[in-house]
Structure 1
Amino acid sequence: MDQRGETPVFSASAEIDGDHLRVVVAGEVDMATADTMFQAALREPAAHVTLDLRAVTFFDSAAIHALVRLAGRYPQSLTVLPSRQVSRVLEIAGLGEQRWLCRSSAGSRVEPPA
């Protein structure tokens, strides 16, 4: 959200390591940027995708839709590392117990899905 007249910041970068694609997203994921996040996760063929959302500050319904589409593309091989804001939005949306969602514990430590 642009609350102070500042331009919202968004970035999505992807890097492949063997058959593992890691996508790091920062800033606001909304109607204007959700597809960019989605496309970054599809940029390289991969057997496993980690979507690192720990630097995401805003996550709306378009972002949720993109995330659910990615979970459909990678049903057994998606891992999502959420920020506190993303975790809260996914809890409200009823997606807080998804297998692909890592639960954060104390500090920035993240527990992988069971």
Structure 2
Amino acid sequence: MDQGGAPPVFSVTAESDGDRLRVLVTGEVDMATADTMFQTALRDTARHLTLDLRAVTFFDSAAIHAVVRLAQRFPGGLTVLPSRQVRRVLEISGLGEQDWLADG
């Protein structure tokens, strides 16, 4: 029986709309989950990808690598919506000024 406990450690869902794909990621993106996020983003033949990371609570180097690989796969077609934690990690790693990183 669910008693309203803690949110899942990780979840990823995708919604397709023509040549656009929106991937919503929740929880922790790390060595164990980054590839799932990456593969979910590639499940479609979309040309534009929005990676919604606003509900991500932990983001490590494997997650950074996955996002950089997605930026290479979607040149000019990637938008990353970061949580505060994700933005901080990307800034520390030197990726805070990338065109694909949304303000906010």
Give TM-score, length-normalised by structure 1.
0.84
1:28-85 Cα deviation digits (max 9, x unpaired): 0000000000001001110100000000000000000000000000011000000000
**What RMSD, in angstroms, separates the aligned Cα atoms of the two structures?**
1.3
3-state secondary structure, aligned to 1:103: coil
3-state secondary structure, aligned to 2:36: helix
Instruction: Tell me by how many angstroms 1:8 deviates.
Output: 6.1
In structure 2, stretches of 5+ residues that fail to align are: 1-5
In structure 1, stretches of 5+ residues that fail to align are: 1-5, 105-114
- Pairing of 1:64-83 with structure 2 (within 5 A): 64-83=64-83
Which structure has more relative contact order (CA 8 Å, sep 6+)? It is 2
In 1: Cα distance, 2:51 partner to 2:90 partner: 14
Deviation >6 Å, runs of 4+: none
Give TM-score, length-normalised by structure 2.
0.92
Q: Aligned residue pairs: how many?
A: 99
Instruction: Tell me by how many angstroms 1:7 deviates.
Output: 9.3
Query: Partner of 1:31 in structure 2?
Result: 31
Q: Which one-letter code corresponds to 2:76 in the other structure?
A: Q
